[in-house]
Amino acid sequence: MDRSLRPGDPSFVGGHRLLVRLGEGGMGVVYLGRTDSGALAAVKVIRAEYALDDDFRTRFRREADAARRVDCPWVVRVTGADPDAARPWLATVFEPGPSLAEAVGRHGPLPVRAVRVLGKALARALAAVHGAGLVHRDVKPGNILLVADGPRLIDFGIARSLDATALTATGLVVGTPGFLAPEQAAGDGDRVGPACDVFSLGCVLAYAATGRPPFGGGPVDALLYRTVHDEPDLDGLAQQDEELAAVLRRCLAKDPAERPAPDELDAALVEDVPSGTVDWLPAAVVRMVADRSAETLSLPEIGATIIEGPVRDRGPSRRGFLAVASGGAAVLALGGGAAAWAALHDGTARHTSAGPGWAIGVQADLSGPGKAAGRAQEQGARIAVEEFNARRGRPFTLHLTTSDDEGRAERAAAAARRLVDDPDVLAVIGSSTDATTQAALPVYDAALLPVLGMSAGQNLVQNVRSFVRGRPLHNVVAMSLGYQLETTGAAAPVGVLLDRSGGDLSWMTIQMVNLVVRQYGDATHPRVVPAGTGDLTPVLTEMRSAGIKAFVYAGPLDGAIRAARGLADFTGPKYAAEPALDARFAAEPAAAGWTVVASAIGPGAAGVRSFAQSFRTRYGRAPGFWAAEGYDAAKLLIGQLGQLVATNGKRPARKALIGPLRKATYHGITRDFAFDQKSAGQPVLTTSASFVHQVMDGEFHYLGPAPDRAPQPRTA
């Protein structure tokens, strides 16, 4: 990665001459700086948009003051800060070493003795942090550096003062999934305290000892669920050191009151802590430490940099050519320069007017495996824009700008950046898949560009301000599937097949269906197939031999087609999760009679018929699934823009739309839109309508809304 300074980066910050970029996150840029005395420092400069937020400055000031009180050799020392600067900054001692995540990722688990040494040092670090009135909240392998004289705990970026008024709302999940305490994973802000850091440290030490997080990996929702409900995976550690395993189990207790305090943990980890050496680390990691230390001796020459004035919303600039992608709680730079210029001008971003204007962006899969859904959303939104532009006396003229992410998470951040760098774009609809939405959100959030998602139903669990989800979560739709099954009186036992190829959505579907069916006293016959399973015949044969009377499949589209073929002569009710809502599934002869419950409404719904006729007139065919949702999304955004113009009499800034969007109410053709503000960082749609579709004659027929509450218990 090119770490050199860029035009627009400052030359000096708070007495530090800046040398190179160390990284970029959602809150700002971290530089390597040198003071007049020659001391090196990591200087975090906060993004300009946060500097305009008085509440943020208040929080930043409290945390900087508290962090200065931390005095411990195992905690990176804060050397300076200025919360009142035009762009607030904070400096810490620069520690040239690899992170624990890098060391374990490259060389595998640490020896047991090294884990004990690491644990004692970090327990003392937490004791100092808590003694200063702070809770770190994000103790993870990436925030622990291994340097020449021992480990260092870094990054107080999301800590908060215990003795100050809490500025973080209850229900907000802050930190890194996989290393969060259960009370953090559950969004229980009232219970977040020092014991959370101890739990996170237990996760870190388990990771260091085994090479894997104690609650596994995978989709965020599943990871948080396991953190709250499952026991940690310490397989192999007990055989090496049962005493250490027992200490970690105490750290990983679900009840915060059962976890040891840091000083108690320090005493329990019986081991001498070498002073000022790396002898406790394996040789391969020691070489990594030495290599990082040597890199500081070959710093680049200090060249002049250009200090730009205030950045105006005036389109693509060299500052703007930075694509970012999500990685846990961090945001890392991926590229810039010529590559970003090429991405910006590859034809995926289109304009219909010259000069500054008003635009709604659509990010979607327009050319990949999910292009039918992505194009449908774009086309529905385009009809809404064209209807608005046809109105007499309209206060402004809109155009639609698209950015194709091809349904690929690795392309999503660049696709988002294209829309962020377009000064016309005031709001975005998208992206059309869970993975691409999650990868794109850090880009939009850093730019405070509002995003309305209509088809991504995963709980993204991020502290994002600019995102509003205009559809129910996958687990809500899955619950409606269970209610539909019970309402129609399907006989038990119900066979439920979880295909892990479908990821988080499949897992949530089976969990909720299993829960609903069993609540009604009916039996289920659950089965799981590994990701990539091509032949479902053996498991389907076994399920049928067990006497199932109904069947639910949760997995990807191709798996649903295979399940339909394998159950072609099964006469009981057959259901599939939302990925099967695709013309390719309906076209499969064996899929006749299958039912799909999904968030997308059907074109046959009474409220959608007028739109469907407009769509046929515009495109010469019936609308596909998600077109009506794209239409509603554009209409909702247009309405909020119109209200801002009516109030202020001028073109609004992007961030001015975020608050009104989160509080918006709108009577759409697919559902009524209103949002609950008490969710974990993201407003939740309160009108959680889902819809039932059944395959007949090679296509889906709309049956109506799915039940959104439990049916009355059946009587004997």
C-alpha distances (whole Å) from 443 to each of 299, 309, 321, 338, 466 are 30, 22, 12, 19, 10
CB 115 within 8 A of CB 209: yes
pTM beyond 0.75: the answer is no
CATH fold of 318-470+607-671, please?
Rossmann fold (3.40.50)
412-440 mean pLDDT: 94
Residue 19 CA to residue 40 CA, distance in Å, equals: 10
Beta bridge partners of 21: 31
Helices 100-107 and 283-295, axial angle in degrees (round to 10): 130
448-456 mean pLDDT: 94
Could you confirm whether domain 100-294 is CATH 1.10.510.10? yes
Residue 713 CA to residue 716 CA, distance in Å, equals: 10
Number of H helices, E strands in the chain: 23, 28
484 has a pLDDT exceeding 80: yes
Phi first, then psi, for residue 332 (nearest 5°) are: -115, 145
Reference 472, options 599, 337, 622; nearest CA is: 599
Q: 490 vs 484, which has greater pLDDT?
A: 484
Residue 210 CA to residue 199 CA, distance in Å, equals: 16
Task: Name the active-site residue from 9, 65, 138, 365.
Answer: 138
DSSP string, 309-337: -PPPS-S--GGG--EEEEETTEEEEEE-H
626-632 mean pLDDT: 97
Instruction: Tally the C-alpha atoms within 13 A of residue 319's C-alpha that lie toward its C-beta.
Output: 20
Task: Please tell me the predicted confidence (pLDDT) of residue 490.
Answer: 84
Q: What is the mean pLDDT of the chain?
A: 83
332-337 mean pLDDT: 26
Alpha helices by DSSP H, listed for 390-473, are 409-420, 434-447
Structure-token pair, residue 523: 């039996």
Phi first, then psi, for residue 384 (nearest 5°) are: -60, -40
Task: Please tell me the predicted confidence (pLDDT) of residue 579.
Answer: 96
Instruction: Tally the C-alpha atoms within 13 A of residue 679's C-alpha that lie toward its C-beta.
Output: 23
330 has a pLDDT exceeding 60: no
Residue 382 CA to residue 97 CA, distance in Å, equals: 51
224 has a pLDDT exceeding 50: yes
Beta bridge partners of 643: none
Reference 24, options 334, 298, 328; nearest CA is: 334
pLDDT tens digits for range 498-552: 998 988 788 888 888 988 888 888 899 999 898 889 999 999 999 999 999 999 9
Name the CATH architecture for the domain at 474-598+692-705: 3-Layer(aba) Sandwich (3.40)
In the chain, where are the structural domains located?
Answer: 12-95, 100-294, 318-470+607-671, 474-598+692-705
**Torsion-angle region of 607 (φ positive above 0: left; ψ -120 to 50: alpha; else: beta):** alpha
Which of these ranges, 51-65, 207-221, 494-508, has the smallest mean pLDDT?
A: 51-65
548: number of Cβ within 10 Å: 25
- Read off the DSSP letter of residue 670: S
Structure-token pair, residue 685: 């749609």
CB 682 within 8 A of CB 464: yes
Q: Give the SS3 label for residue 612.
A: helix
Residue 574 CA to residue 553 CA, distance in Å, equals: 8
Task: Please tell me the predicted confidence (pLDDT) of residue 554.
Answer: 95
Could you confirm whether domain 12-95 is CATH 3.30.200.20? yes
45 has a pLDDT exceeding 60: yes
Which amino acid, residue 428? V
Local confidence band at 712 (pLDDT 50, 70, 90 cut-offs): low
Task: Please tell me the predicted confidence (pLDDT) of residue 172.
Answer: 41
Which of these ranges, 46-50, 173-177, 285-289, has the smallest mean pLDDT?
A: 173-177
Task: Please tell me the predicted confidence (pLDDT) of residue 460.
Answer: 59
Q: 644 vs 521, which has greater pLDDT?
A: 644
Answer yes or no: same fold for 100-294 and 474-598+692-705: no
353: number of Cβ within 10 Å: 12
Query: Taking the alpha carbons of 64, 68, 70, 74 in that order, is the dihedral positive or negative?
Result: positive
Residue 183 CA to residue 256 CA, distance in Å, equals: 8
Structure-token pair, residue 287: 């070489």
Instruction: Tally the C-alpha atoms within 13 A of residue 101's C-alpha that lie toward its C-beta.
Output: 13
Q: Give the SS3 label for residue 699.
A: strand
C-alpha distances (whole Å) from 154 to each of 140, 147, 508 are 10, 12, 35
pLDDT tens digits for range 134-174: 888 889 998 999 988 889 998 764 444 333 333 343 334 45
Q: 568 vs 25, which has greater pLDDT?
A: 568
Over its C-alpha atoms, the chain yields an Rg (Å, rounded) of 27
In which residue are the tokens 């010259």 written?
Answer: 354
Residue 433 CA to residue 454 CA, distance in Å, equals: 9
330-352 mean pLDDT: 28
CB 553 within 8 A of CB 588: no
Residue 129 CA to residue 127 CA, distance in Å, equals: 6
DSSP string, 684-716: EESS---EEEEEETTEEEEEEEPPSSPPPPPP-
Structure-token pair, residue 208: 């260091």
391 has a pLDDT exceeding 70: yes
393-421 mean pLDDT: 93
Instruction: Tally the C-alpha atoms within 13 A of residue 701's C-alpha that lie toward its C-beta.
Output: 10
Task: Please tell me the predicted confidence (pLDDT) of residue 563.
Answer: 97
Task: Please tell me the predicted confidence (pLDDT) of residue 84.
Answer: 87
130 has a pLDDT exceeding 50: yes
Active site residue 138: yes
Which of these ranges, 288-302, 343-357, 665-679, has the smallest mean pLDDT?
A: 343-357
Which of these ranges, 283-287, 339-343, 423-427, has the smallest mean pLDDT?
A: 339-343
Q: What percent of the chain has pLDDT over 70?
A: 84
687 has a pLDDT exceeding 80: no
Reference 197, options 124, 295, 296; nearest CA is: 124
In which residue are the tokens 């020659």 written?
Answer: 38
Task: Please tell me the predicted confidence (pLDDT) of residue 649.
Answer: 86
Local confidence band at 326 (pLDDT 50, 70, 90 cut-offs): very low
Structure-token pair, residue 504: 């988080």
pLDDT tens digits for range 56-84: 788 888 878 888 888 899 999 999 999 88
Q: 687 vs 532, which has greater pLDDT?
A: 532
In which residue are the tokens 């970090």 written?
Answer: 122
Reference 586, options 658, 694, 481; nearest CA is: 694
Instruction: Tally the C-alpha atoms within 13 A of residue 291's C-alpha that lie toward its C-beta.
Output: 9
Task: Please tell me the predicted confidence (pLDDT) of residue 25.
Answer: 67
Structure-token pair, residue 174: 């802050």
Structure-token pair, residue 207: 């990771």
Averaging pLDDT over each range in 176-180, 229-233, 252-256, 514-518, which range is the top one? 252-256
Which amino acid, residue 713? P
CB 493 within 8 A of CB 708: no
246 has a pLDDT exceeding 80: yes
Beta strands at 16-24 and 12-13: parallel, antiparallel or unpaired: antiparallel
Total residues found in the chain within this entry: 716
Which amino acid, residue 589? P
Task: Please tell me the predicted confidence (pLDDT) of residue 682.
Answer: 66
Structure-token pair, residue 372: 């039918």
Beta strands at 672-673 and 160-161: parallel, antiparallel or unpaired: unpaired
Alpha helices by DSSP H, listed for 465-606, are 474-487, 503-519, 537-545, 557-566, 583-586
614: number of Cβ within 10 Å: 17
Q: 623 vs 293, which has greater pLDDT?
A: 623
C-alpha distances (whole Å) from 371 to each of 150, 364, 408, 626, 676 are 52, 8, 11, 11, 31
